[in-house]
A and B are shown apart, each in its own frame.
Chain A
Amino acid sequence: MRPIGLADLRQITPYAWEIPRSFRNDMRVTARLYASRPMVEHLVHERALEQLVNTATLPGVQEPALAMPDIHQGYGFPIGGVVATRAADGVISPGGVGYDINCGVRLLASGARYPEVREHVARLATQIQRDVPTGIGHGGRITLDDRAMDEVLNTGLGWAIKAGYASEADADSIEERGCFVGASADAVPERARKRGRDQLGTLGSGNHFLEVQRVERIHDRARAEAFGLFEDQVTVLVHTGSRGLGHQTCTEYVRLMDQVMAEYGITLADRELACAPFVSPEGQAYFRAMASAANFAWCNRQLITHAVRDVWQRVLGRDEDLAVVYDVSHNIAKLEEHRGVPCVVHRKGATRAFGPGSDGIPERYRRTGQPVFVPGSMGTASYVLAGTDVAMSETFGSSCHGAGRRLSRQKAKQTIDYNRLRQELDDMGIEVRAASAKGLIEEAPAAYKDVEEVVNVMAETGVTAKVARLVPVAIVKG
């Protein structure tokens, strides 16, 4: 395959670029990238664009195959990719969702202003690290028996409400109300259940984190008010997914798809794109398993929410429950209708960003568009955005999901000095609780793109509107 050069990209607007179908014979649709020119100049040397082109070859792919400005190299699909396939005759691909099924972000809002809690932040961070299992090793505080596991996988938040970890109001503030239609525990491999049985309520490692933040700036007062956000407010951001249960589910279905693709006459540029027709028995089984793993992830973030609420009340002595602003998934495949066509929308490192008036978002966000959370790299700002009509017409209702990696973890370890990084975070006044030095280095700001640039591209194209800028005051990392 010939490398992609700048001349292969056609700039269609200041922040949108396309690689036409004529670039490669096997492309079924155009590949479109949202990025600034400097971002594109950097990206042409990366494998991620070739991966984007590969996704444009999938059977049933809808025009166009997309990449958000936080695009970087993934496995098969690029991270930051959005690929919609026709439900009727297109494919579903486990690689288009990723190994961490329903990895996502939840924002919790307090009623407190930062000056009210400033002196307690260090204790808050320490206690959160004690009460929310992080890093690698043994799991959480509960181990699910078979019956409870079935209920988590089948009903998601329904189980959490029954078990006293969640309220109906929490469910109202989560995509799909935390219960994916079509979930079926029967489709989840036994090994995935076993790997996840003691991991509910655990943060994990890698890029997962929990952050106490301060709302530093409001960009859109009306939307911020609708989201329950105000200046100087203290918020908590939770970033984690379905842990070992999701990883094993993906592993086993990639293997299954790899085995059956030939029967369906599917040939691909990359084995990690392994897929099957959505309507096939294998496609349907994966969809049910993925939906169940998504339920597991929502329960995981809910148990962490429960623990954080408890810490908040104990440390601060405040009689308030942190409110769930919203919970967004950035590794998932959803059955949605776009331009009148039922589609399987694969979002791999991308966030749903439904605009005003859309079905499937909470009633109270119908006028504003749904909240979208874009965490920056460790120590940098995060953004609250809102989905727009442009997202609905141009990006299958999708936006970016983060800053996007610039350096691989290996490269970060080779180039970033731990003591210096620690000092920089100290100088910024951020309380850091990390399970390992390695984990901290891998997630250093220098390993990531500039979140401001990523968010600006989305705002300039009109896909998402800026609502608020949040800055960290404490970070708990696996």
Chain B
Amino acid sequence: MSFLFGSGIANLQPCQMETVEIEAANREALLVDWLSELLYRATSEYRAYIGFQINKLTKTELNATVAAAVAEAIEDIKAVTHHELSIRKHEPGWEATVVFDT
């Protein structure tokens, strides 16, 4: 999340752990909903998310434990869009393209 909070994010200490649970119709929607969830929490609670543990991940479900720190964003992101959204298998892992409305 350094694009949202700058390089100082590396020095932040977590203040609490939070659980995130997402269900969506497909993999693409799951990615948009996951990022939208983090964006909502970050902007409404003034938090940065600095640690992620994925507990469960399928094509339509995600359960994660995330470490939150108190921080204000340096970048204003309005929303996570479906514009030109793509997720591709790209050895050795995956590659995703997501466009934010800023």
Which residues of A does B touch, CB under 8 Å?
Answer: 75-76, 99-100, 135-138, 191, 194-195, 204-206, 244, 247-248, 250-251, 254-255, 258-259, 270-272, 274, 409, 436, 478
User: Does B78 lie within 8 Å of A137, measured CB to CB?
Assistant: no
User: Does A100 lie within 8 Å of B99, measured CB to CB?
Assistant: no
Asked if B54 is at the interface of the complex by the 8 Å CB criterion, the answer is: no
Q: How far is the CB of B96 from chain A (nearest CB, A)?
A: 15
A194 to B99: give the CA distance in the assembly, Å.
24
A204 to B76: give the CA distance in the assembly, Å.
8
Given A191-B40, A250-B79; A138-B102 close (CB under 8 Å):
no
Given A137-B73, A138-B72, A255-B33; A75-B83 close (CB under 8 Å):
yes
Given A195-B40, A251-B36; A272-B82 close (CB under 8 Å):
yes
Q: How far is the CB of B22 from chain A (nearest CB, A)?
A: 11
Asked if B63 is at the interface of the complex by the 8 Å CB criterion, the answer is: no
Residue of A nearest to B101 (CB): A99
Total cross-chain contacts (CB, 8 A) = 65
A270 to B99: give the CA distance in the assembly, Å.
14
Given A251-B36, A258-B29; A99-B79 close (CB under 8 Å):
yes
Asked if B44 is at the interface of the complex by the 8 Å CB criterion, the answer is: yes
Asked if B25 is at the interface of the complex by the 8 Å CB criterion, the answer is: yes
Given A99-B79, A248-B40; A259-B25 close (CB under 8 Å):
yes
Asked if B46 is at the interface of the complex by the 8 Å CB criterion, the answer is: yes
Asked if B74 is at the interface of the complex by the 8 Å CB criterion, the answer is: yes
User: Does A206 lie within 8 Å of B82, measured CB to CB?
Assistant: no
Residue of B nearest to A252 (CB): B36
Asked if B85 is at the interface of the complex by the 8 Å CB criterion, the answer is: yes
| Chain B positions 54 through 83: 1 when the CB is less than 8 Å from some CB of chain A, otherwise 0 | 000000000000000000111110111111
Residue of A nearest to B82 (CB): A271
Residue in B46, B73, B74, B99 with the greatest tally of chain A CB atoms within 10 Å? B74
Residue in B29, B33, B81, B102 with the greatest tally of chain A CB atoms within 10 Å? B81
Chain B residues with CB below 8 A from A137, complex form: 46, 72-73
User: Does A247 lie within 8 Å of B79, measured CB to CB?
Assistant: yes
A260 to B99: give the CA distance in the assembly, Å.
23
A143 to B57: give the CA distance in the assembly, Å.
38
User: Does A136 lie within 8 Å of B76, measured CB to CB?
Assistant: yes
User: Does A247 lie within 8 Å of B78, measured CB to CB?
Assistant: yes
Residue of B nearest to A442 (CB): B102
A327 to B74: give the CA distance in the assembly, Å.
30
Q: How far is the CB of A73 from chain B (nearest CB, A)?
A: 9
Residue in B29, B78, B85 with the greatest tally of chain A CB atoms within 10 Å? B78
CB neighbors of A among B79-96 (8 A): 79-83, 85
Chain A residues with CB below 8 A from B78, complex form: 99-100, 206, 247
A274 to B81: give the CA distance in the assembly, Å.
11
A76 to B81: give the CA distance in the assembly, Å.
9
Chain B residues with CB below 8 A from A250, complex form: 79
Please give me the 10 A-B residue pairs with the lowest Cβ-Cβ distance, nearest first.
A271-B82, A247-B78, A205-B76, A75-B83, A137-B72, A99-B78, A99-B79, A75-B81, A136-B76, A195-B44
Chain B residues with CB below 8 A from A272, complex form: 81-83
Chain A residues with CB below 8 A from B73, complex form: 136-137
Chain B residues with CB below 8 A from A138, complex form: 46, 72
Chain B residues with CB below 8 A from A271, complex form: 82, 85
Chain A residues with CB below 8 A from B75, complex form: 136
Residue of B nearest to A76 (CB): B83
Chain B residues with CB below 8 A from A478, complex form: 76
A436 to B72: give the CA distance in the assembly, Å.
15
Residue of A nearest to B33 (CB): A255
Chain A residues with CB below 8 A from B99, complex form: 75
Chain A residues with CB below 8 A from B79, complex form: 99, 247-248, 250-251
Q: How far is the CB of B93 from chain A (nearest CB, A)?
A: 24
Chain B residues with CB below 8 A from A409, complex form: 102
User: Does B81 lie within 8 Å of A206, measured CB to CB?
Assistant: no
Given contacts A99-B81, A136-B73, A274-B82, 7 further A-B contacts (CB under 8 A): A75-B83, A99-B101, A136-B76, A206-B102, A248-B40, A270-B82, A272-B82
A248 to B77: give the CA distance in the assembly, Å.
11
Q: How far is the CB of B41 from chain A (nearest CB, A)?
A: 10
Residue of A nearest to B80 (CB): A251
A322 to B101: give the CA distance in the assembly, Å.
33
User: Does A195 lie within 8 Å of B43, measured CB to CB?
Assistant: yes
A441 to B73: give the CA distance in the assembly, Å.
19
Residue of B nearest to A191 (CB): B40
Chain B residues with CB below 8 A from A100, complex form: 78
Q: How far is the CB of B24 from chain A (nearest CB, A)?
A: 9
Q: How far is the CB of B100 from chain A (nearest CB, A)?
A: 10
Listed by A's residue number, 6 A-B pairs whose Cβ atoms lie within 8 Å are A99-B101, A136-B76, A137-B72, A194-B44, A247-B101, A272-B83
Q: How far is the CB of A412 from chain B (nearest CB, A)?
A: 12
A138 to B44: give the CA distance in the assembly, Å.
10
